[in-house]
């Protein structure tokens, strides 16, 4: 057999094997991204405010409640599960994935407003609250800390304390300022390639959730890489990144340019504000600027940790005692 014919024979044989593989649907949930609580009954969830939210609670139901608010928008609480440790120290710890995020039910892009997030949080607190006098604390990280502050700004009298980990900002200008630094990848870096080169492989429409979620997850892999200035110890664990809710809230912010500080002077309870040593995009100056919206702030720098200081061992071990001391003083 001539070499050319051999090559062609091998080529066609390979193609025949390739042709025999079953094809998978790019749009089907469960193929490339995990099924959500409304699609999979084995996912622990609660139905509140018209949404099936992935949620879990740990600890004695009568203990003071800590509601954990994850980052994003669009991420999930998997990377904050270290917070379960509070349950061993006398707290009821409540986790939930915000609507459209993680394993919680997805909704169309146009339905995401800040008010619906406030209503969800109110409903989650009501669902788990064992008595009217049970103290409620919010523990928010990044976007979750922004949401916690927006909620306190909206309802200054219902929350008994807050732990806030590196919120981008409480005014949209500060958010943009932080994002411009935290996403400052070098132009010729592998991190930038990882984030954008796949956009020629996968495209999706505005509400094409599963595909957008998968693409968003690939995009997010750049964060935590060597090129990222956020200083994390590694890649964050996750269940599902909600692309539509993420886009919706970022676009909402760009359009409305919110200021979530207008009522914060009424909130005189001390707030624990945490920033990390290794996040080059944050730092003391930004922490002071953002936290100054609260009248009573305890600033704490977590050493040897990056932006997701509560997700990795070094940051968690360095931060937990301070958080526990803060909560114990308020409960």
DSSP assignment of 229-253: TT--SSPPP-S---HHHHHHHHHHH
d(CA 266, CA 270): 12
β-pairing verdict for 136-141 and 92-96: unpaired
Residue among 1 and 16 whose Cβ is closer to other proteins: 16
CB of 92 to other proteins, least distance (A): 27
**For residue 105, is the peptide bond before it cis, meaning its omega torsion is within 30 degrees of 0?**
no
DSSP state of 51: E
CB 324 within 8 A of CB 139: no
Tokens of 303: 């050493």
Residue among 23 and 255 whose Cβ is closer to other proteins: 23
Tokens of 230: 């956020």
Among 204, 222, 224, 221, residue whose Cα is nearest residue 212: 204
CB 314 within 8 A of CB 286: no
CB of 317 to other proteins, least distance (A): 22
CB of 22 to other proteins, least distance (A): 7
CB of 17 to other proteins, least distance (A): 10
Interface residues with other proteins (CB under 8 A) are 11-12, 15, 18-19, 21-26, 30-34, 78, 187-190, 192-206, 211, 217-219, 221-222, 225, 235, 237-240
Residue among 59 and 253 whose Cβ is closer to other proteins: 253
Residue among 62 and 199 whose Cβ is closer to other proteins: 199
Angle between helix axes 143-154 and 114-128 (nearest 10 degrees) is 80
CB of 173 to other proteins, least distance (A): 22
Tokens of 317: 């071990």
Residue among 159 and 236 whose Cβ is closer to other proteins: 236
Residue among 32 and 330 whose Cβ is closer to other proteins: 32
CB of 14 to other proteins, least distance (A): 10
CB of 73 to other proteins, least distance (A): 17
Residue among 66 and 310 whose Cβ is closer to other proteins: 310
User: Given strand 45-48, what is the order of strands in its sheet?
Assistant: 45-48, 51-58, 92-96, 65-69, 136-141, 161-165, 271-276, 297-302
């Amino acid at each position: 057999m001539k070499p050319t014919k051999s090559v062609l024979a091998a080529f066609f044989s390979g193609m025949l094997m390739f042709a025999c593989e079953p094809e998978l649907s790019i749009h089907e949930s469960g193929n490339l991204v995990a099924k959500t609580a409304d699609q999979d009954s084995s996912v622990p969830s609660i139905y509140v405010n018209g949404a099936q939210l992935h949620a879990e609670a740990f600890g004695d139901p009568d203990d003071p409640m800590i509601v954990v608010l994850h980052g994003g928008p669009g991420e999930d609480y998997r990377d904050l599960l270290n917070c379960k440790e509070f349950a061993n120290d006398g707290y009821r710890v409540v986790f939930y994935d915000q609507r459209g995020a993680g394993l919680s039910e997805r909704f169309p892009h146009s339905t995401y407003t800040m008010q619906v997030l406030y209503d969800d949080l109110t409903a989650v607190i009501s669902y788990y609250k064992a008595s009217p006098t049970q103290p409620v604390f919010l523990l928010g990280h990044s976007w979750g800390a922004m949401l916690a502050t927006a909620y306190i700004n909206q309802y200054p009298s219902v929350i008994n304390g807050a732990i806030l980990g590196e919120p981008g900002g409480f005014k949209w200008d500060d958010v943009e300022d932080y994002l411009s630094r935290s996403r400052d990848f070098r132009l010729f870096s592998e991190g930038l390639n990882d984030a954008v080169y796949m956009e020629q492989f996968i495209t999706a429409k505005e509400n094409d959730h599963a595909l957008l979620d998968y693409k968003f997850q690939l995009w997010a892999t750049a964060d935590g890489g060597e090129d990222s200035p956020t200083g994390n110890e590694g890649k964050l664990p996750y269940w599902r990144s909600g692309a539509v809710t993420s886009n919706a809230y970022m676009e909402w912010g760009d359009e409305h340019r919110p200021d979530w500080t207008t009522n914060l002077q009424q909130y005189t309870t001390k707030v624990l504000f945490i920033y990390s040593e290794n996040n080059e995009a944050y730092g003391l100056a930004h922490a002071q600027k953002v936290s100054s919206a609260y009248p009573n702030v305890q600033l704490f720098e977590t050493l040897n940790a990056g932006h997701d200081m509560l997700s990795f061992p070094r940051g968690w071990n360095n931060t937990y005692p301070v958080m526990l001391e803060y909560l114990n003083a308020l409960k």
